[in-house]
Amino acid sequence: MENNHQDLKKGLLPRHVQFIALAGMIGTGIFKGSSDTLSIAGPSVIVAYLIGGLLLFIIMAALGEMALAFPNMNVQHLVNKAFGFQVSFLVGWLYWINWIIVTVVELLAAGSFLQFWFPTIPLWLLSLLCAVVIVGINSFQVKYYGELEFWFAGIKIIALVAFIFLGCFLLFGLIPSTIQDPFSNYTAHGGFFPHGLGGTFSAFLVVMFSYGGAELIGVAVTETKDAERVLPKIIKGAVWRVIIFYIFPILIICGMMPWDKVGGADSPFVQVFTSTGLPGAAHIMNFVLLTAVLSAANSGIYATSRTLFSMAQSGVAPKGLAKLSTKGIPLTGIMITSVCIIAGVYLAYLTPSQVISYLMTIPGFTVMIIWISICAAQLKLRPHYKNQPAFKVKWFPFTTIFAIISLSVIFIGFLLNPNNVIGSTVCILTIGILIILSFVNRKTGANEITI
């Protein structure tokens, strides 16, 4: 790849990157999606989150290792270097589509949460206003995006910590409540595995979607100051925090109420806070949920615009998308993403809610494909490191191979699951179209990264 291309400005501080990773992983997956996983697997969903957390650590460690071995290269660059144009084309555009879908749904969710306070204002208008604000933030220097994400993530983390402490006080009877014998909820109502191991396995799609966003570190690394020093600490800290912030809340929810009583209409967190009788609990949790989805939408616009920029650098996307504004941001990519988001918000408003729920299965599939590609890239690139990084995956190649096999089994299992037929069909068709386009675009000439 030529060296005369523009580089993104390194405006992200270590605390920004650490919270970007946390914000990408702590979102609607835990605040809203936990009701879905509980209905699928019951209390045994904790096992799925633990196994998913182990896979998450391997993926992030592999990504961090490659980022140190090949400075200033993000996920899409690394895949291009390992496997060339076709795979890079596929992974890059899949990642972009993934975040477009996620961002649209998050903005619709933000509008629905605002309707809690403004019930007379239509959903499409509130969602559009949220989109304008988030796009505006991303149109300034990257440090402003990082700062906003830092505070968004901070609100979510504070809410989760408060929930964990409050839940523990209630479970152990330190705060009076109407809950009787809470620990029996873990084994009653069908047992710890009410739907068997099959139910636990079925929860993995939502779990993978919930943990999706960890790879944002691989997108943000090219804009991070002193990445070589801070990246290993960020990876280790982020993984353990996310596992804690998922496992503990799920344990508390399962103890506070029977898993089969957790409804899908409201967040389980809202249901638990409401059951405490605390004044204003619903308003507090609605505010937290609002910041959670805005945070995810904020990360989505960041991820999509940077993915377009890196794809343009390697010839996977039009070269015009590799241009930066005077503030050092890929403004063209942000505008294209914004048009897609506005169209998505409008179309989603016109379509039934069932269509959106079907579309939400797609990010789970794409996250697994991207994670497999990260592991496969590390497996291929490790022997070719010119400088050995200080941070490396332990027990290589066995840990990487274990992650690839595990993710592949989960992916194939969901493709064959009749309950996921719509999401599976859309995913397969999208991959097929992208494969064809990769060969068509290959003939026009593209840059393969050889540095």
Beta-carbon contacts of 223 under 8 Å, excluding residues fewer than 6 positions away, are 8, 9, 10, 11, 12, 142, 306
Output the CA torsion sign for 132, 133, 139, 145: negative
**326: buried, middle or exposed (CB in 10 Å: 19+, 13-18, 0-12)?**
exposed
Q: What is the pLDDT of residue 3?
A: 43
pLDDT band at 22 (very low <50, low <70, confident <90, very high): low
Residues in the chain: 451
Task: Mean pLDDT check: name the lowest of 35-49, 67-81, 175-189, 373-387.
Answer: 175-189
Beta-carbon contacts of 307 under 8 Å, excluding residues fewer than 6 positions away, are 76, 92, 95, 96, 99, 219, 333
pLDDT of 11 higher than 70: no
Q: What is the pLDDT of residue 404?
A: 93
Task: Mean pLDDT check: name the lowest of 56-65, 200-209, 217-226, 387-396.
Answer: 217-226
Helix axes 227-256, 14-25, angle to 10 degrees: 30
* Rounded to 5°, angle at Cα 89 from 84 and 91: 100
Give me the mean pLDDT over the 398-419 stretch. 86
Task: Mean pLDDT check: name the lowest of 30-39, 104-113, 150-159.
Answer: 30-39
CA distance linking residue 58 with residue 385, whole number of Å? 19
pTM tops 0.85, yes or no: no
Query: Which residues face 249 on adjacent strands?
Result: none
Task: Mean pLDDT check: name the lowest of 143-152, 222-231, 358-367.
Answer: 222-231
Residue type, 326: T
Cβ proximity of 83 and 381 under 8 Å: no
Cβ proximity of 328 and 139 under 8 Å: no
Q: Is 27 helix (H, G, I), strand (E, B) or coil?
A: coil
Q: Cα–chain-centroid distance for residue 183?
A: 32
pLDDT of 359 higher than 50: yes
CA distance linking residue 333 with residue 308, whole number of Å? 6
pLDDT of 397 higher than 60: yes
Tokens of 365: 């599939």
pLDDT of 13 higher than 70: no
Question: Who has greater pLDDT, 413 or 205?
Answer: 413
pLDDT of 447 higher than 70: no
pLDDT of 307 higher than 70: yes
Give percent of the chain with pLDDT exceeding 90: 2
Task: Mean pLDDT check: name the lowest of 137-141, 358-362, 420-424.
Answer: 358-362
Give me the mean pLDDT over the 309-329 stretch. 74
- Taking only the tens place, the pLDDT of each residue in 124-148 is 788 889 888 888 877 776 666 777 7
Beta-carbon contacts of 377 under 8 Å, excluding residues fewer than 6 positions away, are 62, 66, 78, 79, 81, 82, 83
Average pLDDT, the chain: 76
Residue type, 406: S
**H helices of 314-397, where?**
331-350, 353-359, 361-381
Give me the mean pLDDT over the 269-275 stretch. 71
pLDDT of 79 higher than 80: yes
